[in-house]
Structures are given as C-alpha cells and as structure tokens.
Amino acid sequence: MFRSFRRLLLTGTPLQNNLTELWALLQFLMSGTNFANLKEFGDWFANPLEKAIEMGNVLDDETQQRVAKLHQVLRPYLLRRLKRDVEKELPSKYEHLVFCPLSKRQRFLYDEFMARVQTRHDLQSGMYQKIANILMQLRKVCNHPDLFEVRPIVTSFAMPRSAVTDFEIKELLVRRQLLHDAEEHVSLDVLGLQFIGHQDTSLIAALETRRLDATAQLPFIGDDPGAPPPHDVRTAAGYRAYSEHQRHAATIARWTHIGYLNRLRCARMPLYSTELLRALKSFARPMPARSPRRSCARWRAASSARLSSRCRTRAGSSRRPRRTSGRRARRCSRRG
C-alpha cells in the first residue's frame, strides 16, 4: 500500500472525533500486517467507549477491560509528553479574550436553533452526546452562519443547469461497459464451454483420471456450518462465538469451491482423443512436393525432338526459302 521505511504521525490526540480516525491512523502505521479491519475494530471498541461516555466515571468490568485493551494497542505507537514533564520548557501562557457580537443572521439562527422542540428535548434528556451535538451546532453558527445553514447562490453569473448533465454519468458508464472485455475475466475452460480443448489427452488417461477423482476425501466437503449464533458484540464470548462461526463457514465455502474445481478438472474428456487423431493422420499421407526446377528440366528433356526439329525447319524455311526448296528437290531426286 505505502512503500516507506519509517512513518511518523503528528497529531494532537489520536482519539479526537471517532474511532474511525483512530483506526485509519493505526492502519497507516501498520499497513502490510494482519491488523483488524474497520468492522472488527469498531465492534471491539466502539460500543464500550460509547457506554463509557454515557455512564461517565462509573464503568463496569467489561468496559474497563476494553479501555485497557485499547490503551495496550496504542502504547507501542504513542509518544506522549505530559505537561508536568515539559512545563518548564514551555513559554509563559497569555490569554486574551476578545468579544465579538453576533451579526443579525447569526443571532437569528442562534435563537431559532435554541427555540426548536428537538433542541429543548435533547437538553432535558441530559445525555452527553446530544448536548455535545448542540454545542457543536452553536459553534458553527458563531464561526460562520454558512457552516450551519448554506445559503443559495444568488447572482447574475449563475448559469442554469445543462440538459446533458444528467447524461454525462450515464454515457461514462456505458462507455466503460463497452470497453470492458468479459472474456478476460471469464474462464470458458472452468465453465466447460471450451469443447476442443485438451486434445492432447488420450482417452485411457482421461478415464483413469476420472476414476482416481478424490474430491470426496477433501476436508470439510459436505459439512454444514449450521445456523449462525446471534451477533452479540457486547460480550467477549458472544463476539468470539460469532467470529468463529463466520471463520468456519468461510473455510467450508473455500474447500467446497476447491472440490468443485477438482471434480470439474478430473471429469474432462477430450472431444477428439490422441488415438483418433493419430489414426486419422496415419491414413492421410500427403505426397511429397516436387521441386519446380526438376519438373521443368524433365519436361524439357522429355519433349519431342521431332517437334523441336519442325519448329527449327519452319523457322529456316521462312528465312531461306530458295535454299531449303533446293535441298528438298535434291533429296527427292536421289531417293528416286
């Protein structure tokens, strides 16, 4: 995730807002290790800390154990300096109070929020979290009214929303689906749709592999995880039982998938076995190709000498007709 040799976090307090931020800090420090995920971390520490905040100083034994466990997790990674250790090195503290009156809008929002029925009900309940939320909302009003209630933008430069805005996201999704190649993520061999594959296997070897299939001997094959226990995160025993059941169910599912793949691979049968392909190749023996140069030489050697002589005679008669006719006459007279 992050490639670094040393990591340092500078923070005022690790638990400032909620446990999610604390988990993110620890995950950054211990990335690459078997650190708990956010759900497990929240199940372990969120509910006890909320209970501790609600109960105040009175904590039961289980909550005290969870708080001590959280301190044990943080201690190796927390470098803390107490005030009594560094008080002499700090400069003198000066505090200046400047009173700023609220604006008209801030005063209106402040009074309107305090006059709400829900706000009065939360104040009467006396719960720490609800009162803290009320103070946070009032703090937003005092800092800036737009933090509490966002005002609409009223300006002549505000442009109306484009008609194609709603279709931009859809177009992006459609283009992503069109560019997505499903064949890269789907194995036709596993689905049994590659009919002409595994043709280098003989029929005898395929039958022997099917006979030696030992999928039934794999562990956890055919086991039933049973009904899950109640998801009780308030007690350590209940959380441990639920986590153990989830881990056992995941193990059974993984081994069941392994058995399915093993049974599928052992049941493969070639469409054309090596015996059939070898037999077909033995009957079809193609004749060796002849060299074109040798074929032309043989054709020239086997051509008729008489035909070639006739061609030369005709060529000679066209060039020297008188001489050729005289020779023929002499030959005829001699023969006579």
| 198 CB-near residues (< 8 Å, 6+ apart) | 268, 270
Torsional class of 155: left (φ above 0), alpha (ψ -120 to 50), beta (otherwise):
beta
Q: How far, in whole angstroms, is CA 63 from its chain's centroid?
A: 38
Look at residue 159 in the predicted model and tell me its pLDDT: 72
Question: SS3 string of 66-135?
Answer: HHHHHHHHHHHHCCCCCHHHHHHHCCCCCCCCCCCCCCHHHHHHHHHHHCCHHHHHHHHHCCHHHHHHHH
Tell me how long the chain is: 336
| 137 CB-near residues (< 8 Å, 6+ apart) | 113, 148
- Residue 53 near residue 127 (C-beta atoms within 8 A): no
Report the first-to-last Cα separation within the chain, whole angstroms. 115
Look at residue 204 in the predicted model and tell me its pLDDT: 85
Torsional class of 137: left (φ above 0), alpha (ψ -120 to 50), beta (otherwise):
alpha
Amino acid code (one letter) for 53:
I
Look at residue 110 in the predicted model and tell me its pLDDT: 95
Look at residue 104 in the predicted model and tell me its pLDDT: 94
Look at residue 317 in the predicted model and tell me its pLDDT: 47
pTM: 0.32
Look at residue 10 in the predicted model and tell me its pLDDT: 80
Q: What share of the chain is helix, strand, coil (3-state, %, to 5)?
A: 60, 0, 40
Residues of the chain with pLDDT under 50: 313-319, 321, 324-325, 328-330, 332-336
Give the whole-angstrom CA distance, residue 151 versus residue 159: 17
User: What does the radius of gyration of the chain's CA atoms come to, in whole angstroms?
Assistant: 47
Give the whole-angstrom CA distance, residue 3 versus residue 164: 42
Please write the tens of the pLDDT for every residue from 243-281: 888 899 999 999 998 898 888 888 888 878 788 878 777
Residue 185 has what DSSP assignment?
T
Look at residue 295 in the predicted model and tell me its pLDDT: 61
Q: Is the dihedral of CA 190, 191, 197, 201 positive or negative?
A: positive
Q: If you write DSSP's letter for every residue of 274-310 in order, what string do you get?
A: HHHHHHHHHH--PPPPPPHHHHHHHHHHTS-HHHHHH
Look at residue 59 in the predicted model and tell me its pLDDT: 62
Give the whole-angstrom CA distance, residue 303 versus residue 310: 13
Look at residue 20 in the predicted model and tell me its pLDDT: 78
